[in-house]
Amino acid sequence: MSTAIIYYSRRGQNYCNGVIKNLAQGNTQLAAQFIQRAVGGDLIEVRTKDEYPADYYACIDKAKAELNSNARPELVSTPENLDKYDTVFLGYPNWWGTMPMAMFSFLEKYDWNGKKIIPFCSNEGSGMGSSERDIAKICKGAQIGRGLSIHGAETAQSEKRICDWAKKSL
């Protein structure tokens, strides 16, 4: 069995320490790459069929509407199954206190029984929110490891911390 690092990340306009910055690569994606360097495994990006708006504020408005309506955005290029993985690092930004609804869409597609899920989350101060509880509700039969909250604006400077956590989490 092997490890997967499954993540959703937003590139482009992001909120960083009180200002909007244009990121060529999302913070969660960068953290996922650090984890892969530390422990190996396959990187799997979760992508929505309909892209979120490029404008940050329009994006968070759409994300809030999705949360309020309990939406399940359609995804593209998801694996048929996750049978070959026993451990999954699961990464996402904290949007409105939990994972983006695209992650709910992803998680609900699979059987998680017997797998270990280790969440990590980029945010600007809201921590893991309710995401760990939400993962546990969706992923019945999985062991949920201790999550890592990463301050998004500090992701690039947090490689050692992220790698050390990933190694300890296995």
Q: How many domains does the chain have?
A: 1
Nearest to 128 by CA among 107, 145, 108: 145
Tens digit of pLDDT for each residue in 75-95? 998 999 999 999 999 999 999
φ, ψ (nearest 5 deg) of residue 161: -60, -45
pLDDT in tens, 123-139: 999 999 999 999 999 99
Residue 120 predicted with pLDDT over 90 = yes
Enclosing domain of residue 106: 2-169
- Cβ 69 vs Cβ 104: under 8 Å: no
Q: What CATH number is attached to the domain comprising 120?
A: 3.40.50.360
3-state SS assignment for residue 46: coil
Distance CA 110, CA 123 (A): 26
pTM here is: 0.96
Q: Does residue 1 carry a pLDDT above 80?
A: no
